[in-house]
Structure 1
Amino acid sequence: MAVPAGVDARVVIIGCGISGIGAAQKLINRGFRNVRIIEATSRSGGRIKTGSLDGKLIEIGANWIHGPSQENPVFRLASHYQLLDKESMSEENQSVDIGGLPPLFSTWLSSSGEKLDADLMAPAVEVFMTLLRKSQEFYNTSKAPMSTVGEFLKMEALHISNKEWKDDKTKKLRQALFSTLLKLECGISGTHTMDDVDLATFGMYKSLPGLDCTFPGGYEGLINQMMKELPKDIVLYNKPVKCIHWNSFYRQTSSKARTHPVTVECNNGETFEADHVIVTIPLGYMKKHHNTLLDPPLPQHKLHSIQRLGFGTNNKIFLEFEKPFWDEDCEVMFLVWEDEYDLQNPVSDMKTAWIRKMSCFTVLKPTERYGHLICGWIAGHESEYMETLPEEDILHTVTQLLHRFTGDSTIVVKKLVRSRWFHDPYTCGSYSYVAKDCSGRDIDNLAEPLPLTGLNAEPLQVLFAGEATHKSFFSTVHGALLTGWREADRLLSHYNLSARTITANL
């Protein structure tokens, strides 16, 4: 039987995260026979990384399925592989529309060691969340009143609080709570400060319906199931890529004639020829290595977009205790520094005050699965500084923090595990965000294949995928997966291939 043109094309995928795995799956399922994944590290999954603390599973990387509903391909896959519990898969859970912000049973702790009254804090939370939603409405509707989300939130929050709340002590406490929620939003957005996030573009991100859920057996279970469906020898591990030579630019020392337009050169000197290369590496790595990663170098407009787009760090510090010091129904403990009512940068001295950037601790549930574990969240340069500290220093500082905010000096941390995404040489941070003066065009530019249309060269030599290349779902696992599928579809369309033609002809 005739084999359709294209299935013998050589495709090399750089990066074995969910984007690269998704692209490989789709191409192979459609009949492509020469697909290979080159991975810099010794493992699959990329920024999906499940670890353990005292035998209990913890997520070092991606934590939730954001918006677990039928519109979310990660949810559909997780359901297909039966990786979720009944509650997460229920119709009710899928239909809850929370606008990306899950309702949580919160405890508010102050820096003077008091538990703040939830009713006292509620008006501040309502104001902040209303302003956050409003800041998303400037996209595609009207000209944003100022440059950044941070400027808008701080100015409006202070204006409303000064106007509405007359009692000075209450007002200052609620304004200090705004500061805590700004830190939390830094972690959600993956930025050092919301002053770096573009207000006009902020609403480009779309949240999906569904109450965010986790994987009882760990997020890596999804990666393992996907990998099982790929040929066993498809991934070459421990092969960092030095340079992608495209447009037949690479000159081999041997006299053998080159038959493919792209050559992938690894750090160890190995080379792999390809008709198409799909680059799925994190934007953080691209920012750091764009000068040497491609030869010829990236076109200027593409390079400028990489420089404009934001890529920040959000880390976790997991803590284990012999017994809980929090209430049974508590899901998150927010830390309110009472002297931060002016909403200025809370950290003046990194060495002594980095811990102030920690916004909250989430309680890992259910207790039957996790025991007594909480996870502290810290973003930005303080988070990056934390990565450089010895574990015993972090343990001491976090213990002092808990003593201060709970007023209980008997609390003892049993064990600690932290993530270190900024100093991971192949991620250089956590995920992307729309930085100041950034637009959707920058994401389009990043996703644009090389060579550009109109050049007299083989088309679609270098394609780009990964969460930073999705305009609506940047920073998410489902965004990463969708872009891997998008680039696979681009190649299928290029060769006029579909599931039907492959099945019919093989």
Structure 2
Amino acid sequence: MLVTLYLFVFLHFVHVDVQADPSVVIIGAGPAGIAAATRLLENSINNITILEAENRIGGRINTVEFAGHFIELGAEFCHGERNNLVYEHANKYNLLELPTKSLENNVYYSNGSKLDPSLVEELGLQEDYEYYAKGNFNFTGKSIGDIVIERYNKKQVEKYKNEKEKLKLAKEGLRYSELFTLTNEGSFSWFDCSADNGYEVCEGNQSLVWKKVGYKTILDILMRSYPDPNKKLPIDDKIHLNTKVQSISWNKSESVTVLTIDNSSYFADHVIFTPSIGVLKQQSDKLFTPSLPSAKREAIEATGFGGVIKIFVHFPTKWWKDDHSFSFFWSEEDLHIDYPHGPRKSGISWITQLVDLEQNINNPNVWSVWFAGDLVPEVEKLPIDVLKNGCEFVFNKFLGKNYNVTAIDQIVRSTWYTNPNFLGAYSFTKTGLYRPDLSYQEVLAEPLKGVEGKPAVLFAGEATNPVHFSTVHGAIETGHREAERIIKLYKRKQ
């Protein structure tokens, strides 16, 4: 009798303790995971554990030191000023500024000549695809490539039918426009990404960059360690780096069981899953027991996820003038150049997918190279010397007539697509799969309910944001959303 009474009291005590301070495991310490953790801590939910597969926090924010200054291997821009959490946080401390670059004024042709800026503007090579769809142009079911080609061809072919040279440039310019578009969309082809989607642009400048502190500072602001490190939330001892999750068992008992690859087990009332949609695409079948519901599997398939590469190069000697950027426009003839090193596809070398060269705002001797297109996965695997030589070849081919381009002495690149903890850069809506009556992002965000009907596994991350996907501010919003879901659940029970 006493044993039974003691067991009853013990179980009753445990039950009350769980309701007062539920246990939460957060998978991933990117902006969504850190946002969720800090929001929980701010609301006195302290029993949290953060499991991060990388050896650092930040996810697709990756500010690193290079040539004595910070560079952004991952997220770089703050997209907009209104209804943007990144802007709201950073602007309080005057941490954002405009980049000093003007791509349209420095477009070089592959014969080494600079295209007249007025001609670049006239051709409309760097216009957003929506520019071509003004009026009554129908987006429904079409890709960005469909929209641009249809509208652009109608406009430019008619306009230049009697001007042979301009017509040639206009036709060649479609490929230039595609690469320019892919750096924004993160897909491997502009036929992959839908022209109609639910994305909502935050008003204001779309290309604000961080001052010398770097994008990683948004994490410090969320954790309250910036501007005063003494006010940091008690989060450090809750983060477990180099801890990759192997499986999540979510519907067999009252608690969720998370098993890591080192065979450590973590038990929680709730799990917030924040890894990329790329990880879900490749690993969801073996990650979750039981398997994900069919609606969520369909949403994973419907979400696009590709990749871009940022390459940073350092020149020990200045060779440029007052330039801040150069972009590269290949002629049809040069596009099939017989470059002997590195991958090719359909007879076209990887070097032709280098988009532009942009000066680092904090270090004029450091320049970033954007690389986009279907050869991204192979270029990420290239030996660094092959990458360096390919970049130098392109710079000299395009700029060598006007500049004495010096050799690169340091180089580093991003590897988001081949990193198994990310498997891509940022999400997009696949062509033909946008539905105004059904948001696949919202389906992705729908929690998995456990045996008691409570949200056992919750989902956050940029790909689960129906209006701000592919952005850091969108990721932060989802971390707050899932934290609030847990907070409200226990507020109702108290």
TM-score bracket for this pair, using the shorter chain length: 0.7 to 0.9
Q: Which residue identity lines up with residue 149 of structure 2 in the other structure? A: K
Instruction: Quickly say closer, same or farther: Cα 1:399–1:341, change in 2 above 3 A.
Output: closer
Residue number in structure 2 paired with 1:236:
240
Tell me how far apart the structure 2 counterparts of residues 146 and 300 of structure 1 sit (CA, whole Å).
23
SS at match of 1:420: coil
Residue number in structure 1 paired with 2:54:
41
1:487 aligns with 2:490: no
Q: 2:88 aligns with which of 51, 76, 80?
A: 76
Does the 8 A contact of 1:176 with 1:340 survive in 2?
no
Instruction: Quickly say closer, same or farther: Cα 1:282–1:47, change in 2 above 3 A.
Output: same
Deviation at 1:137, TM superposition (A): 8.6
Does the 8 A contact of 1:175 with 1:340 survive in 2?
no
Does the 8 A contact of 2:460 with 2:478 survive in 1?
yes
SS at match of 1:483: helix
The CA deviation string for residues 467-499 of structure 1, in whole angstroms up to 9 with x for no partner, is: 00011111100000000001111112222369x
Q: 1:308 aligns with which of 291, 299, 302?
A: 302
Residue number in structure 2 paired with 1:378:
371
SS at match of 1:13: strand
Residue number in structure 1 paired with 2:408:
413
Residue number in structure 1 paired with 2:340:
none
Does the 8 A contact of 1:111 with 1:335 survive in 2?
yes
Instruction: Quickly say closer, same or farther: Cα 1:132–1:355, change in 2 above 3 A.
Output: farther
Q: Which residue identity lines up with residue 430 of structure 2 in the other structure? A: A
Q: Which residue identity lines up with residue 431 of structure 2 in the other structure? A: K
The equivalences for 1:44-123 within 5 A come to 44-67=57-80, 69-80=81-92, 82=93, 84=95, 106-123=105-122
Residue number in structure 2 paired with 1:167:
163
The equivalences for 1:426-441 within 5 A come to 426-439=421-434, 441=439
Tell me how far apart the structure 2 counterparts of residues 197 and 339 of structure 1 sit (CA, whole Å).
25
SS at match of 1:196: coil
The equivalences for 1:235-314 within 5 A come to 235-248=239-252, 260-314=254-308
Residue number in structure 1 paired with 2:7:
none
Residue number in structure 2 paired with 1:16:
29
The equivalences for 1:318-467 within 5 A come to 318-328=312-322, 330-339=323-332, 349=345, 353-365=349-361, 369-408=362-401, 410-411=404-405, 412-439=407-434, 441-451=439-449, 457-467=452-462
Bigger drift between 229-238 and 303-312 goes to 229-238
Tell me how far apart the structure 2 counterparts of residues 410 and 295 of structure 1 sit (CA, whole Å).
60
Deviation at 1:349, TM superposition (A): 2.6
Aligned length: 456
Tell me how far apart the structure 1 counterparts of residues 44 and 489 of structure 2 sit (CA, whole Å).
14
Tell me how far apart the structure 2 counterparts of residues 175 and 332 of structure 1 sit (CA, whole Å).
24
Deviation at 1:136, TM superposition (A): 8.8
Q: Which residue identity lines up with residue 310 of structure 2 in the other structure? A: K
Q: Which residue identity lines up with residue 311 of structure 1 in the other structure? A: F
SS at match of 2:332: coil
Residue number in structure 2 paired with 1:254:
none
Tell me how far apart the structure 1 counterparts of residues 94 and 247 of structure 2 sit (CA, whole Å).
37
TM-score, normalized by length of structure 1? 0.84
Does the 8 A contact of 1:109 with 1:406 survive in 2?
yes
1:195 aligns with 2:191: yes
Deviation at 1:340, TM superposition (A): 7.7
Does the 8 A contact of 1:198 with 1:435 survive in 2?
yes
Tell me how far apart the structure 2 counterparts of residues 448 and 137 of structure 1 sit (CA, whole Å).
36
The CA deviation string for residues 135-169 of structure 1, in whole angstroms up to 9 with x for no partner, is: 5999xxx8536521111211221221111123110
TM-score, normalized by length of structure 2? 0.85
Q: Which residue identity lines up with residue 237 of structure 2 in the other structure? A: D
Does the 8 A contact of 1:350 with 1:382 survive in 2?
no
Tell me how far apart the structure 2 counterparts of residues 321 and 461 of structure 1 sit (CA, whole Å).
52
Residue number in structure 2 paired with 1:124:
123
Q: Which residue identity lines up with residue 328 of structure 2 in the other structure? A: L
SS at match of 1:223: helix
Instruction: Quickly say closer, same or farther: Cα 1:387–1:70, change in 2 above 3 A.
Output: same
SS at match of 2:375: helix
Unaligned 5+ runs, structure 1:
94-101, 250-259, 502-506
Q: Which residue identity lines up with residue 177 of structure 1 in the other structure? A: G
Deviation at 1:247, TM superposition (A): 1.5
Deviation at 1:414, TM superposition (A): 2.4
Does the 8 A contact of 1:172 with 1:341 survive in 2?
no
1:472 aligns with 2:476: no
The CA deviation string for residues 300-359 of structure 1, in whole angstroms up to 9 with x for no partner, is: 11111101210010111111113444441x3431211121899xxxx9637960111122
Tell me how far apart the structure 1 counterparts of residues 474 and 221 of structure 2 sit (CA, whole Å).
19
Does the 8 A contact of 2:444 with 2:459 survive in 1?
yes
Tell me how far apart the structure 1 counterparts of residues 175 and 333 of structure 2 sit (CA, whole Å).
6
Deviation at 1:172, TM superposition (A): 1.4
Tell me how far apart the structure 2 counterparts of residues 264 and 118 of structure 1 sit (CA, whole Å).
57
SS at match of 1:306: helix
Root-mean-square deviation (CA, aligned residues, Å) is 2.8
Tell me how far apart the structure 1 counterparts of residues 246 and 399 of structure 2 sit (CA, whole Å).
50
Bigger drift between 349-358 and 381-390 goes to 349-358
Instruction: Quickly say closer, same or farther: Cα 1:209–1:318, change in 2 above 3 A.
Output: same
Tell me how far apart the structure 2 counterparts of residues 174 and 417 of structure 1 sit (CA, whole Å).
34
Tell me how far apart the structure 1 counterparts of residues 271 and 58 of structure 2 sit (CA, whole Å).
19
